[in-house]
Amino acid sequence: MNFVAECKECQRLAAEYEAATMEWFRAQGQLRVAQFSHEQESSDRLRDELSAISGRRDQLREATGKHELERHAEVAIPEAAAASGVR
């Protein structure tokens, strides 16, 4: 994901993605504890939570990609070309 520091939408999307990622790590840690403790109900609830968080992260990645193409194509295209070796 590209990030244009001066862009408020880039900042918002990056902050939301970071927050969702931190939530995912928190829930993942709690799931490991619940599984170790054989707490089936907690494990099931946490798996559902992780699935929802993963979906939100996927949506944010898609929104970021769409935003980059719509607003920052001049930045995204040269970087994508450089990454693929095209000049």
Residue 49 has pLDDT above 70, yes or no: yes
Question: Which residue segment(s) compose the domain that 67 sits in?
Answer: 8-80
Return d(Cα 21, Cα 10) in angstroms, integer.
16
- What's the token pair of residue 81? 């070309």
For the chain, the domain total comes to: 1
Residue 1 lies in a domain: no
Please check whether residue 13 is in contact with residue 67, taking contact to mean a CB–CB distance below 8 angstroms. yes
Of 30-39, 40-49, 76-85, the one with minimum mean pLDDT is: 76-85
Total-model pTM: 0.74
In-domain check, residue 87: no
